[in-house]
């Protein structure tokens, strides 16, 4: 990671808020959220159009999803975080280990052909594998912000590549519960069930 963007936690957010500093100087969370939504929608169509037989769902692909989706807004788009982060009772991968953990996860994902070989079997097995790797990336929480949306975009691209529609993750509260189980107990059962239900041809 370039040292230029080694921001610490306190330099990311406008003091006293959960609003990240951004290139447009937006200080209103609703406006920012709407804009992020627009950028994400655009990204879905851009990255969908770019899918080819040669697409590798590797670490640089994940980083490019984050960077290209949000670089108009955030300096740190596509950069891994260097500091520790937690949400509620959950502690994500320690900042010092994000890079090496990411390498480990993506090596494993490459070993199974970025899930392509699971598609031929059945969607049950495919859902299970997506949940396993998605759980790993949820626990990694590699970026400063927008992890949830980029992790889901990443697996939606894998789903689309394999002839499925984008995954319907259902209720956000259920997704958070499933994420908590992944991060705190390495338990991907809830997430598997959500993905199994949300995966459609
Ligand atoms: N208490 C928690 N324990 C474990 N993981 C959590 C918890 N709360 C949220 N998460 C995970 O972190 C993600 C949110 O991370 P972040 O805020 O960086 O991204 P986001 O795109 O703003 O999220 P989202 O759109 O999913 O709310 C969630 O999607 C979920 O996977
Ligand atoms: Mg968020």
Could you give the domains of the chain? 3-198 (1.10.3290.10)
pLDDT at 157: 97
User: What would the mean pLDDT of 54-73 be, rounded to a whole number?
Assistant: 97
Q: E strands, the chain, where?
A: 86-87, 90-91
Q: How confident is the model at residue 3 (pLDDT cuts 50, 70, 90)?
A: very low
**4 has pLDDT over 70:** no
Contact 168, 155 (CB under 8 A): no
Contact 146, 71 (CB under 8 A): no
User: What would the mean pLDDT of 169-191 be, rounded to a whole number?
Assistant: 98
pLDDT at 8: 75
**109 has pLDDT over 90:** yes
Smallest-distance ligand from the CA of 146:
1
User: Whose Cα sits closest to atom 3 in ligand 1?
Assistant: 180
In degrees to the nearest 10, what's the CA dihedral of 157, 160, 164, 168?
A: 40
- Ligand 1 atom closest to Cα of 89? 1
How far apart are alpha carbons 116 and 14 in whole angstroms?
42
Give the residues surrounding ligand 1 with Cβ less than 6 Å away: 87-88, 90, 138, 145-149, 176, 179-180, 183
User: Whose Cα sits closest to atom 24 in ligand 1?
Assistant: 148
User: What would the mean pLDDT of 105-128 be, rounded to a whole number?
Assistant: 87
Smallest-distance ligand from the CA of 145:
1
């Amino acid at each position: 990671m370039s040292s230029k963007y080694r921001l610490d936690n306190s330099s990311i957010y406008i003091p006293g808020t959960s609003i990240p500093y951004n290139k447009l100087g937006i200080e209103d969370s609703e406006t920012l959220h709407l804009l992020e939504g627009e950028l994400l929608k655009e990204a879905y169509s851009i990255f969908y159009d770019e899918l080819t037989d040669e697409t590798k769902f590797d670490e640089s692909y994940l980083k490019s999803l984050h960077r290209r989706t949000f670089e108009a807004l955030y300096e740190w788009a596509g950069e891994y975080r260097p500091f520790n982060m937690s949400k509620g009772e959950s502690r994500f991968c320690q900042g010092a280990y994000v890079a090496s953990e990411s390498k480990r996860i993506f090596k494993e994902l490459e070993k199974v052909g970025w899930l392509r070989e699971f598609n031929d079997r059945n969607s049950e097995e495919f859902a299970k594998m997506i949940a396993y790797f998605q759980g790993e990336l949820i626990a990694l929480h590699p970026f400063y912000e927008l992890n949830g949306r980029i992790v889901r975009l990443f697996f939606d691209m894998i789903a689309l590549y394999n002839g499925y529609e984008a995954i319907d993750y259902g209720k956000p509260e259920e997704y958070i519960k499933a994420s908590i189980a992944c991060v705190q107990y390495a338990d991907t059962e809830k997430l598997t069930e959500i993905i199994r239900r949300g995966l459609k041809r």
